[in-house]
Structure 1
Amino acid sequence: MKIIRIVVYCFLLGLMSCNTQEKSKETTGVEDVTIKEPKFKYWNWITVGHKKSDSAYTAHFKKLKGYGIDAVLINSGADPKLLARVAPLATEEGLEVHAWMFTTNRPGDSIALQHPDWYMVSRSGKSCFDERPYVNYYQWLSPSHPDARKHILSLIEGLAKVEGVASVHLDYIRYPDVYLPIGLLPKYNLKQEEELPDFDFDYSDASVEKFMALHHKDPRKMENPAIDIEWKNFRLNEIKSLVNEAYTLVHKYDKKLSAAVFPYPEMADYMVRQRWDKWNIDIVLPMIYYNFYNEELDWIGYATAQGVEDLKGRPTDLHTGLYTPKLSPEDLKLAIQYAKDNGASGVAFFDDYTLTDEQFEVIKTSKE
């Protein structure tokens, strides 16, 4: 009898368990399904505005998803209201949304423009407030100015608060180009074989005073500031500390931090004072635009592998950024493969508005 009672008891327990599972399904209406992160993610950088209709954005996002895109990096001009309008349209089509913003380069920033002292200054004494290096949209705020920094962080926080955003994506999180990519120099009729005064930043009062308080020397009076390691390291650390503050901030809202960066850390350090392998950051998208550097297509693989190696042991994913206007469909296919073969977690395309139908077909086919 005792054995029979045990058997009946086990049967009843099993029946209760089945009923509980059925009730759980009835309550939720669906079975518990976990959405898996794609093994190799495909991203697009995209700029949005107020003029396009919701239906037009929905059609565009539907197209992107249909061709295999997993995530969109949306530049709303750091406007959280515009982002809050557009982001749900993307997520409804199955796309992950990342809030893309210009960070230390803030062209046309109406708040910053009320404060000329917030801007970076070159060694030749030119302020980005009114004399901009290379192009008119280079208006760089100093990460050393406490109010400029607060302003940047407030913009980051505004985007982090938007529901449905996976990460805040920092672009132009650096100093102006000390050295342009070699392939772009002819466009500006320049030779850059040393750090030139017009392109060496930041000699603003805020930056110099902060540096002098730490190291008791004035970079404005150095005979050759390019070889002063403390001065170089100070600027690397100013960007690093800004990123680390942003990381803490966005994580308060359960968001990740991502960034568009130069191809690999040593190059980024040399060219734009950006040492991204030392940052607290979740995801980096190095812009491996090989043609800007007069390199061959397989350099995409080299630069990807270098970045992956430099991040070893750090909790940061790397996704290779590709400049699609200069890639034929055949080269795009190879570029994606170079990124895959060299350890990238995905590829990002700049930008989707210029992608041809042939390129979209390559992207779709490469996912299958």
Structure 2
Amino acid sequence: MAFVPETFILYPEKLNFASDKAAYTYMKRYIFSLYICITGCLAAMGTQRFDPLSSPKRETRAVWLTTFSSLDWPKNKATSPAGIKAQQDELCRILDRLKEVNINTVLLQTRVRGSVIYPSAIEPWDGCLTGTPGRAPGYDPLAFAVRECHKRGMELHAWLVAIPCFKISAATRMGNRSVLKTHPKLCVRHGDSWYLDPGQPETADYLASLCREIAANYDVDGIHFDYIRYPENAAKFNDASSYRKYGKRQNKADWRRDNMTRCVRTMYRAVKAAKPWVKVSSSPVGKFSDLSRYPSYNWNAYSAVHQDAQGWLREGIQDMLFPMMYFRGNHFYPFAIDWKENDYGRPVVPGLGIYFLSPQEKDWPLEDITRELYFTRSLDLRGQAFFRYAYLNDNHKGLFDFLKDVYYPFPALPSACNSQDSIPPERPGNLHKSREAQTYVLRWSPSVDNLCGKDVRYNVYASQTSPVDIASARNLIAVNVDSCSLPINEEFCALNGISFAVTAIDRFGNESEPARLPSGWSDKPNLSGRFLPHDSQTLDIPEQDSPYVAVVDAYGRIVSTAPYSRRVRIGHLAKGLYEIRTLAKKGRSKHIGYFIK
């Protein structure tokens, strides 16, 4: 479904700003600048769609992957070797699906509700892995997830649910290693659940110990705090005892905010002491506070749940934020601007409530999300995050297709968080090409970073224009490569005049100057005899026993999929060399042929 920006940009009164002159003036400068940008694109393209080639090279594209009650993963239980294999294969399919749409950051729920998905010396195993709380799954899911994300050039951030623990009815099943048994002083009852009490000074140290354990033992790219706040009905939260003991006659709301800030500060410092490059973030409530013209209706971070999230950015104890902006209309746009105006130079990546697209939820139209996507990108809010994976995977209202075909057409590097180190690594050396046992390979010498040593990754660029423009996302063919070589597709090598460039990127996101290779292979593969006939609009293919076919460009990216037919439409494709392949269940695919348009 095409995005029609005019419904938002040309007629801002559709957001109900027209009835409020001051609010309209407040938004005017942002809307006008966005309007100029959009109409320039539309005039150049002659279409009512943004130019997908404007896709930024740096943009955090994140998804929350929920393990609570196995909502997203795992559906298979690891109670046998076959179960372990099924659970791991399931995660790999999820990551392949995210890679298909150029997602670059996975927020994996690692601490669930007072329990974890890795072998911890502090808390018990969560039951999502085996069906039984406290039972080990027979492997390390967090280590496995980190490796599989890095294989695909993705970042993995360990998502920790901070303050809630578990239902009172489930407390006995949590066993003797639960926080209720090991640190009962830190726990309070609230409603039907146990919570950590942020008013107890030791709560910050306890949460920091979990962060320290993960940062020290796993090659995670980030640690992400969720529910680092008081609960929704905070007025009834049972912290009167800790307030009497530690409040020192301070205003209770201020005291609570100070408690949350102490937790965030302590956790942040614990991570940075272990590995300074690990990104530390949180997901505050999506409205920070009431605005002068737009109230939050008693649901905001600052007053309702005592999160001074903008203060955390100001103090420098968060590298980035993922505010949960699960709203639309006037509940979204003014508050997005407020986050941008108070980001203190650090990435703020809005979390979008894509679950509302589901008919079982609020049945939003796709345009509600696409408008928010374009608006937040225009504000340079450094990316987007989607809650949650299942709703993206299910392609509600065509969102997955929209992201793949329009909004995320090319890979992107996650936003840099380099406040602690802005020095790029050395340029890779000795970039060269070779043909090895019928395989074409790019190779280079390793780079060295000032803080991370050889713990760097590499980005590979290619273009038929020399020198390769490394500022353009369209030239990225591989991101965050963790080795010093890259196999190159045979059909790609058949193109004329391909130039390559390789850069090193450190764990803070600093990118080196490129090593360049100005020309392609002299012994290009001969693809003659394997080309399929077409008339530039439709392509004839041989009969296949497959439900779908995929068109793959010379960079190895799937650019189009369709149900199998003897004639495939290709009129929408740009000029270039393409491969066409079958596409079956579990990602099975086989080569059919090539065509040049």
Which position in structure 2 is the counterpart of 1:205?
241
For 1:264 and 1:162, locate their aligned partners in 2 and report how far apart those are by CA, in whole Å.
Answer: 35
TM-score by length of 1: 0.70
- In structure 1, the partner of 2:161 is 102
* 1:85-125 deviations in Å (ceiling 9; x for gaps): 222112212211100010012226652222443224xxxxx
User: How far apart, in 2, do the equivalents of 1:162 and 1:337 lie?
Assistant: 38
Match of 2:318 among 278, 281, 285: 281
Tell me what 1:17 maps to.
none
The answer on whether the counterparts of 2:203 and 2:263 sit within 8 Å (CA) in structure 1 is no
Query: 1:83 touches 1:162 (CA, 8 Å); kept in 2?
Result: no
Shift of 1:151: 2.2
2:354: which partner in 1?
Answer: 324
Match of 1:271 in 2: 304
Amino acid at match of 1:107: F
Within the candidate set 370, 391, 398, 1:333 is matched to 370
2:161–2:228 contact (8 Å) kept in structure 1: yes
Q: 1:257: which partner in 2?
A: 280
Mapping of residues 118-129 of structure 1, within 5 Å: 118-120=186-188, 127-128=189-190
Higher RCO, 1 vs 2 (CA within 8 Å, ≥6 residues apart): 1
Amino acid at match of 1:44: V
2-structure distance, mates of 1:93, 1:206: 47
Residue pair 1:300, 1:338 contacting (<8 A) in 2 also: no
Relative distance call for 1:100 and 1:282 in structure 2 (3 A) is same
Instruction: List aligned pairs for 1:1-368, cutoff 5 A.
Output: 38-48=57-67, 49=74, 51=78, 52-77=86-111, 78-80=116-118, 81-107=140-166, 110-114=177-181, 115-120=183-188, 127-128=189-190, 132=191, 136=192, 138-178=193-233, 199-211=235-247, 214-215=248-249, 230-252=251-273, 253-254=275-276, 255-266=278-289, 267-279=300-312, 280-290=317-327, 296-297=328-329, 299-311=331-343, 314-327=344-357, 328-355=365-392, 356-357=394-395, 358-364=398-404, 365-368=406-409
User: In 2, Cα distance between the equivalents of 1:162 and 1:79?
Assistant: 13
Q: Which moved more, 1:148-157 or 1:253-262?
A: 148-157
**TM-score of the superposed pair, with normalisation by structure 2:** 0.44
The SS at the match of 2:102 is: coil
Deviation digits for residues 46-65 of structure 1 (CA, Å, limit 9, x no counterpart):
02446452222112101101
Q: Deviations over 1:260-291 (max 9, x none)?
A: 1111322311211111011110010000111x
SS in 2 for 1:107: strand
CA RMSD of aligned residues (A): 2.2
Query: Which one-letter code corresponds to 2:180 in the other structure?
Result: L
**1:161 is paired with a residue of what secondary structure?**
helix
Deviation readout 1:287-331 (Å, 9 max, x if unpaired): 0111xxxxx4354222211111122xx243100001111133332
Percent of aligned pairs sharing the same letter: 21
Unaligned runs of at least 5 residues, structure 2? 1-55, 68-73, 79-85, 119-139, 168-173, 290-299, 358-364, 410-597
Q: What's the CA shift for 1:344?
A: 1.2
For residues 184 and 266 of structure 2, the distance between their equivalents in structure 1, rounded to whole angstroms, comes to 24
Q: Partner amino acid for 1:209?
A: K
What's the CA shift for 1:332? Answer: 2.2
Letter in 2 for 1:139: W
CA contact (8 A) 1:282 1:316 kept: yes
Output one character per residue of 1:120-158: Cα deviation in whole Å (capped at 9) or x when no partner: 4xxxxxx33xxx2xxx4x532112224433322211222
Following TM superposition, the consecutive aligned residue runs of length 4 or more in structure 1 with deviations greater than 6 angstroms are none
Q: Number of residues paired by the alignment?
A: 278
Q: Give the counterpart letter for 1:329 in structure 2.
A: L
**Structure 2 Cα separation of the partners of residues 366 and 298 of structure 1:** 23
